[in-house]
Structure 1
Amino acid sequence: MRIVLVGLESSGKTTLLKSLVSKEVKVQGSNVKGSTSNVFEVKEEQIRYVDTPGIRLGSELVSSQYTEKMADSADQLWFVVRGTHFKTELEALEKIFSFNHKSVALIVTFEDKMDRESLQALHDFKAKTKFPLYVMDTRTINSSVGKSVIQLARFVTSSEIDELANLPIQKVKESPTLFQKRVIGPYLALFTVLSIYALPIFLAYQFSKKAEGFVGLNILRPMKSWFSTFPESLKTLLFGDFGLFSLGIYSFMWAFPVVLLFGLAVAITEESGLKDRITDSLDPLMRKVGLTGQDLVPIISGFGCNVVAIQASRSCNICTRKNCISVISFGSACSYQLGATLSVFGASGNIVLIIPYIFALIVISLIHVKIWNRRTMVPLFQKRESFLQWPSGQILWFRIKPVISQFLLQAMPIFLIICLIVSMFELLGWLDYLKNFVAPLLVVSGLSTEIAPAFVASLFRKDGILLLNQGSGSVLEQMAPGELFIAVFLCSTFTACLVTLMKIMKELSWKDAVMIAGKQMTTSIVSVILFSILFSMYE
């Protein structure tokens, strides 16, 4: 049996699915609207549960195409509506889907936030009509509820739906916050989001700075001593300028805390509902650059992982999606990129550069999308009222665990392979050819050819920026702060990493991917040239 869950954004479909099945669900429900951006299916015994992307009122979303297709294939169709917004959401779903062509069930979520009179009206209606209706708090139910709903599901009549829609169900309003203030709200939201994501960077730097001396004295020095009698070629591979141990351990120490703490910050803001309030409030500012407040959700997600963020852009309006992807590609510094940047700035003694760096990424990416996509017609943005809540430790760990796993099992192994390849280039004398190949671009940008390995590596993965730490920081010591800033910015923005470009190609087309990459290269080069002129004026 195939059971498809449909509902508006933030109605609780994914959290419901997680509670219904006994096996671990890899997709975590979220209090932020649009958190499910693709179809997700899980099999439990002989039943296939299908979670679909949320519908948004008055908007033409890419993800809606997936939802409608899955609804047609269902044996049972479960409609999920928030009890706090019962009439609005029921009416919206009734306009999109047919309630009397399939066996259906109506799941009413957010029971804990509904008033007593509304709950009583629903229970009385169910008792009188035997309507396939369940009222629940999806965070507290267990898997046995699913079997009960399956048995209760049936064909319903139009008159039953009409009677249900006329029940005296009261709408529950969200608690007002300063984010709703017309004048100060957007600027307060912008300050809040910058503060939230600056905190993990600050804490990670404090930890890594203190750990640096310990690692060098107690780990790297004994290892170098132990390998002192080995062949020079092996010592170059392990402890050279791009050594597997010398650069790998050092880079892990700087990158991992950022990945961990940034992942925690993202999880907290999403699961608490704070991100929802922020995106609603920032809509007026986002519209000025061809985006909506909702588009900010995948953009912020890009600071965790660009690939995940581009998939999440399916929850964007069709007409603004390319704009959103352009901003993600240019300015959403993934956690690996942030960790590498923090490592380079910290090792050079110029950690304060992280502030103008992040500011430049945000501002220039918005200018970039505004210049290249001036004709985009931005649709009206309908705010969805969400509720602030304390995220549970279990949910936070569920969200952080894959971040840690991805870093340890994917990101770091690939970076270590990059270290080995560049070390081999150094042994074979090929680094000079590499430097000569990219020299024209670096010269135009006012940079030394010494950054060539980091620049080329960053085209494949953004944590390739860590190669600027070559020679235990000796190259960094020779670079002025302005030159270092330009080098990191160029490596970060010249193009998206290869994996991100492949994801753009898959989600859009190869032509769109080429166009986005070409526009990004142009903006990046123009930006670094302007930075070079600006810094030269103050030397």
Structure 2
Amino acid sequence: MLNERQNQPTTPRAVVLIGLESTGKSALFRSLSGMDTGAESNFRGSTVTVRRTDMIIPTSQSSVELVDTPGIRVQDDSLTTELALNMLGQSDIVLLIVRATHAARELPLLLKMLDLIGKNIVLILTFADRASTLVEAYTTHYRQMLGISVLAVDSRQLDITTRGTLLQAINMARPMKRKPVLTEPPVEEIKEAQITWFEHTTWGRTVSVIALLLLFAVPVFLAYVLSGWLQPLADHWLLDPLRNLTLQLPDWLKTMLLGSYGVLSLGIYSFIWAFPVVLFVGLSVALTEESGLKDRITDSLDGWMRRIGLNGRDLIPVLSGFGCNVVAVFQSRTCSRCTRRACVSLIAFGSACSYQIGASLSIFSSGGRPWLFLPYLLILVLVGAAHTRLWNRQSSNLQSVVVGRTFLQWPSLRAVRWRLHAVLKQFLTQAMPIFLLICVGASLLQWSGILDRLTKGIAPLLSLFGLPHQATAGILFSILRKDGLLVLNQDGGQWLVQLSGGQLLVLVYLASTLTACLVTLWTISRELGVGFALKLAGRQLLTSLISTWLIAVIVIA
């Protein structure tokens, strides 16, 4: 009987990492566990769900469950802060994470907010590399004040010795003193992170806007150059030989594979134009986030964001939407409850996901006017801001307590690689398969004649915007997915060349804004309710139709 009890598996102790935003929790989680956490790197509000992994502490062979929680904001009512506080109640051991450079301010705030009575605690001072001369004095001071283990680490570069020491401290964790009296460390506090142009009182916001433009303009331009070089090669070495090989196939199968909407013809063409955008935009965003620049930009633009009912922190999900709207909706959990719906509204309307960017760039290029991408993106942002302000009248009055600027640092190659890997994996395993299914559906609709009947039925509506009936398929399929717009590249996009610049701009804008894609709407309904999703879709439809008509009046003679 005794042996049976000894052989029974024991429940792993829950070791919960908790701290304010941008304190290096996720980097520490990655270093301790070795888990691929590419979605968590150095940008504020990165962890929007709880990450878990089981691991063994070598010194004792005991099993623990390591849990990474979202960063806490002071005076905040977001879902992520609530989630982090809820996880605290389920913890056996708490890793309390504060920056060594800001410990005198961050630690008292955390101790005031958190109920740590009876919890086994280890205090981790991150960014030890930024406080190398004073870190020993800090660890000794807080160890004496709290009566617990205190370790200083560089969470991004955790060596084997430090990792072993930290694991041993976790295994030996104990509760802190009942009523600790915190005094400031007996040394001069370490200086704040460096001031940059982003914090300039006069030019900071302008610099931030320019930085945002470059963040997307440069990778999109590089993607355009690469795609323009690859397309003729694909025509010569892939599509032409495939057409010759399939001459004897039945008509329906040839239509399915290499017709106007063929899986191979349109699929290869779409991959060439979409994948480089996903690759270069994903790399640009990862570098910006991992370096800390994204925090500086969002802090700088806080004032302007409040004019449309949001705040600077809400800009993070909006920017995430330029990668994927679904991810951005999840990221909006970091928003205050009073601004989250407005933020989601802006994401659905104005955040052009990487698939939408690739599709739009492809259509403009096929029409011989790639330069239209810049005015298109500008109109999308401006109308999106007006749409958000119009339909969301409640202002953001929540004032957050700033505990210090984020440090600028050289991006970690490991974190950037993981983040980019996650983006590319999502594109290859989710986006492209769905688009290929769209190609199959479009081919079947064309072969059966249903697409022609739909085109004739919608043609009168499109004529109100000065658009030809051939645009029907692109608009219909863009409702399913934003890269559904790529079906307009049928026959190599030959008919797009016949459109005027104004018609091309109106077409892409209407297809982009008429509604969020169905996957995004489904996600919104699960996060905020079916009623809100339907209301959002109706408002977006109305804004899109009115603004498209106004744009058509201005740009189409």
Shorter chain as normaliser: what TM range?
A: over 0.9
* Alignment of 1:60 onto 2:77: yes
Distance of aligned partners of 1:117 and 1:99 in 2 relative to their CA distance in 1, 3 Å threshold? same
Q: Report the residue type matching 1:295 in the other structure.
A: D
Distance of aligned partners of 1:72 and 1:441 in 2 relative to their CA distance in 1, 3 Å threshold? farther
Q: Contact 1:39–1:51 (CA<8 Å) still a contact in 2?
A: yes
Q: Distance in 2 between matches of 1:100 and 1:380?
A: 29
Q: Distance in 2 between matches of 1:194 and 1:399?
A: 21
| Cross-structure match for 1:256 | 275
Q: Distance in 2 between matches of 1:392 and 1:166?
A: 31
Q: Report SS of the residue matched to 2:356.
A: helix
Q: Contact 2:287–2:416 (CA<8 Å) still a contact in 1?
A: yes
Q: Report SS of the residue matched to 2:134.
A: helix
Q: Report the residue type matching 2:310 in the other structure.
A: L
Q: Distance in 1 between matches of 2:391 and 2:213?
A: 25
| Cross-structure match for 2:175 | 155
- Could you report, residue by residue, the CA deviation over 1:356-407 in whole angstroms, capped at 9, with x for unpaired residues? 0110111110011011112334322544410111112222111111111111
Q: Distance in 1 between matches of 2:183 and 2:14?
A: 26
* Alignment of 1:528 onto 2:540: no
Q: Report SS of the residue matched to 1:138.
A: coil
Q: Contact 1:13–1:29 (CA<8 Å) still a contact in 2?
A: no
Q: Distance in 2 between matches of 1:486 and 1:35?
A: 35
* Alignment of 1:386 onto 2:406: yes
Q: Report the residue type matching 2:274 in the other structure.
A: A
In the superposition, the TM-score normalised over structure 2's length comes to 0.92
- Could you report, residue by residue, the CA deviation over 1:489-520 in whole angstroms, capped at 9, with x for unpaired residues? 11111111111111111111111111111111
* Alignment of 1:512 onto 2:532: yes
458-467 vs 121-130, which moves further: 121-130
In the superposition, the TM-score normalised over structure 1's length comes to 0.95
Match of 1:340 among 359, 365, 379: 359
Q: Report the residue type matching 1:14 in the other structure.
A: S
Q: Distance in 1 between matches of 2:447 and 2:481?
A: 22
| Cross-structure match for 2:30 | 18
Match of 1:272 among 291, 298, 307: 291
Q: Contact 2:98–2:106 (CA<8 Å) still a contact in 1?
A: yes
- Superposition deviation, residue 525 in structure 1: 0.5
How is 1:75-94 mapped onto 2 (pairs within 5 angstroms)?
75-94=92-111
Q: Contact 1:132–1:149 (CA<8 Å) still a contact in 2?
A: yes
Q: Contact 1:12–1:138 (CA<8 Å) still a contact in 2?
A: yes
- Which ranges in structure 1 are unaligned for 5 or more consecutive residues? none
Q: Report SS of the residue matched to 1:3.
A: strand
Match of 1:461 among 464, 481, 505: 481
Q: Report the residue type matching 2:69 in the other structure.
A: T
How is 1:256-405 mapped onto 2 (pairs within 5 angstroms)?
256-383=275-402, 384-405=404-425
* Alignment of 1:73 onto 2:73: no
Q: Report SS of the residue matched to 1:447.
A: coil
| Cross-structure match for 2:251 | 232
Q: Distance in 2 between matches of 1:172 and 1:63?
A: 29
Q: Contact 1:118–1:169 (CA<8 Å) still a contact in 2?
A: no
Q: Contact 1:20–1:144 (CA<8 Å) still a contact in 2?
A: no
- Superposition deviation, residue 25 in structure 1: 3.0
Distance of aligned partners of 1:200 and 1:128 in 2 relative to their CA distance in 1, 3 Å threshold? closer
Q: Distance in 1 between matches of 2:271 and 2:255?
A: 19
Q: Contact 1:34–1:315 (CA<8 Å) still a contact in 2?
A: yes
Q: Distance in 2 between matches of 1:209 and 1:129?
A: 62
| Cross-structure match for 2:10 | none
- Could you report, residue by residue, the CA deviation over 1:99-153 in whole angstroms, capped at 9, with x for unpaired residues? 3321111111110111523532423653798622111111122453442121231
Distance of aligned partners of 1:412 and 1:193 in 2 relative to their CA distance in 1, 3 Å threshold? same
Q: Report the residue type matching 2:323 in the other structure.
A: G
* Alignment of 1:450 onto 2:470: yes
Q: Distance in 2 between matches of 1:163 and 1:337?
A: 52
Q: Contact 1:38–1:52 (CA<8 Å) still a contact in 2?
A: yes
Q: Distance in 2 between matches of 1:7 and 1:128?
A: 19
- Superposition deviation, residue 64 in structure 1: 1.3
Q: Contact 2:38–2:422 (CA<8 Å) still a contact in 1?
A: no
- Could you report, residue by residue, the CA deviation over 1:386-430 in whole angstroms, capped at 9, with x for unpaired residues? 011111222211111111111111111111111111111111111
The percent identity for this pair of structures is 40
- Could you report, residue by residue, the CA deviation over 1:139-182 in whole angstroms, capped at 9, with x for unpaired residues? 122453442121231011144x3246555461431111111111
Q: Distance in 2 between matches of 1:148 and 1:132?
A: 10
| Cross-structure match for 2:18 | 6
Q: Distance in 2 between matches of 1:130 and 1:91?
A: 15
Q: Report SS of the residue matched to 1:44.
A: strand
- Which ranges in structure 2 are unaligned for 5 or more consecutive residues? 1-12, 57-62
402-411 vs 140-149, which moves further: 140-149
Q: Distance in 2 between matches of 1:43 and 1:231?
A: 55
Q: Report SS of the residue matched to 2:96.
A: strand
- Superposition deviation, residue 29 in structure 1: 3.3
Q: Distance in 2 between matches of 1:316 and 1:277?
A: 17
| Cross-structure match for 1:412 | 432
Q: Contact 2:15–2:94 (CA<8 Å) still a contact in 1?
A: yes
How is 1:192-231 mapped onto 2 (pairs within 5 angstroms)?
192-231=211-250
Distance of aligned partners of 1:429 and 1:104 in 2 relative to their CA distance in 1, 3 Å threshold? same
* Alignment of 1:483 onto 2:507: no
- Superposition deviation, residue 282 in structure 1: 0.8
Q: Distance in 2 between matches of 1:440 and 1:198?
A: 36
Q: Contact 2:147–2:177 (CA<8 Å) still a contact in 1?
A: no
Distance of aligned partners of 1:520 and 1:147 in 2 relative to their CA distance in 1, 3 Å threshold? same
Q: Report SS of the residue matched to 1:291.
A: coil
Q: Distance in 2 between matches of 1:382 and 1:94?
A: 15
Distance of aligned partners of 1:129 and 1:475 in 2 relative to their CA distance in 1, 3 Å threshold? closer
Q: Report SS of the residue matched to 2:174.
A: coil
Distance of aligned partners of 1:292 and 1:36 in 2 relative to their CA distance in 1, 3 Å threshold? same
Q: Distance in 2 between matches of 1:189 and 1:145?
A: 41
| Cross-structure match for 1:173 | 192
| Cross-structure match for 1:140 | 157
Q: Distance in 1 between matches of 2:395 and 2:212?
A: 26
Q: Distance in 2 between matches of 1:302 and 1:119?
A: 42
